[in-house]
Amino acid sequence: MEPTKAKTDPARIHRSDPGHPDICPVFAYHQLFRKENVDEIHASCSQGSIGCKDCKQIAGSAINDLLTPFRERRNQYEQRLDEVKEILVEGTRQARKVARETMLEVREAMGIRYFDL
């Protein structure tokens, strides 16, 4: 989501209006992704000393920092699609084996194992 479009406290019309961070979805991002500064953001919002635009940029930056390693790994795998396909094929093979064994147990337990397929 583009940070500038995120909904905030609707009561905050002007930058200096005191905010209500506990009802603001952006503050929830701070609570989840930027815990070390959450008290400071809460106080700044409540006092009207931080603008929503700046607040959103801080939250967006924290989320981007969190996602950076995942994006890097994704890019690495994107360069090795053949290897990814092999991993998926092998995982599917193993999952089928386990599922087949589980279904045999289920049929046995239900007394509906008519054939050894």
Where does this chain bind ligand SF4 (CB under 6 A)?
8-9, 12, 19, 21, 24, 26-27, 45, 50, 52, 55-56
* Closest approach of ligand SF4 to the CB of residue 65, in Å: 18
Kindly tell me which of 47 and 94 has the beta carbon lying closer to ligand SF4. Answer: 47
* Closest approach of ligand SF4 to the CB of residue 41, in Å: 6
- The C-alpha torsion from 16 through 21 and 27 to 31, rounded to 10°, is 130
* Closest approach of ligand SF4 to the CB of residue 71, in Å: 25
DSSP string covering 5-67 = GS---TT--STTSPP-GGG-HHHHHHHHH-GGGHHHHHHHHHHT-S-HHHHHHHHHHHHHHHH
Kindly tell me which of 7 and 73 has the beta carbon lying closer to ligand SF4. Answer: 7
Closest C-alpha to 3, from 37, 41, 53: 53
Kindly tell me which of 9 and 33 has the beta carbon lying closer to ligand SF4. Answer: 9
